[in-house]
Amino acid sequence: MLVLVAPGQGAQTPGFLTPWLDLPGAADRVAAWSDAIGLDLAHYGTQGDADAIRDTAVAQPLLVAAGLLSASALGAVAPGAVTPGAVAGHSVGEITAAVLAGVLDDTAALTLVRKRSLAMAEAATVTRTGMSALLGGDPEVTIPHLRKLGLTPANVNGAGQIVAAGTLEELAALEADKPEGVRRVVALKVAGAFHTRHMAPAVDVLAQAAADLSPADPTISYVSNKDGRTVGTGAEVVSRLVGQIANPVRWDLCMETFKELGVTALIEVCPGGTLTGLAKRALPGVQTLALKTPDDLEAARELIAEHASA
């Protein structure tokens, strides 16, 4: 069985959209999305420097657009095509996955993620917060230690990878008092403590935006970051998309569900690499492929033909 996954914030790099815009119809499609959300995606995806595309308000729509563009080029979700057995996304990648599962259309998804990104960027200005990755350690030891310091394990990614989030003072305390077994604490270049209580103001904004949506039920198994479970209705997918911005990402549980579903191959849409890296460590024996440029499409199609269902 094939799983199609979409990465989250931090996967973007300067110029990563450039080769995808050379595909037939891609530039026109991106231009239409840009007009719909009031953000020049092509500019940021081809000319934006690292600081420009690190901005939450830019990074999130750009990642969803790239994911949708590469998935479309792959042909994995076209009507009548071979399809994955399940889809999932990490953080903002969940919105990409909602399109791949047939819950939202492209324009609705890009409109929602634009509002999400602006709301989260605004929430991040209320308190000086951040996120840090912990290298090494046992989650059963690390997570209680983080909570003792007032921090949230905002991303529990599996394969021993945890990202802590909270105020800058709490993160400084973590530097001085690392959990047993953790080798290093690495500050991440993000604007705030995403997937924590600090994002609560953005939840209300996104809930209002989501009220205008008309989601369809998933046509492919949709695996949620909330608890790693599959979600059966479009309304529940959207409800989880709203609440998830203030709750931890449990990618470890998503990968456990992939195992239960019988995954044999995993493809990560553009800009791929992060989630395939986790899968290589947590899902031994599963074939993985990251879509980075259109040059990866042929190998991905071969993997789909071998592992997907008609």
Give the whole-angstrom CA distance, residue 22 versus residue 236.
Answer: 36
From the list 271, 270, 269, 268, the residue with the least C-alpha distance to 279 is 268
DSSP 3-state of 178? coil
Q: What strands, in cross-sheet order, belong to the sheet with 152-158?
A: 152-158, 161-167, 129-136, 182-187
DSSP H helices, the chain, are 26-37, 41-46, 50-54, 56-74, 93-100, 106-123, 139-148, 168-176, 200-210, 234-244, 251-261, 274-282, 297-307
Q: Which of 34, 70, 90, 195 is catalytic?
A: 195
The reply to whether 195 belongs to the active site is yes
The reply to whether 43 belongs to the active site is no
Q: Which of 34, 91, 221, 224 is catalytic?
A: 91
* Residues labelled catalytic: 91, 195
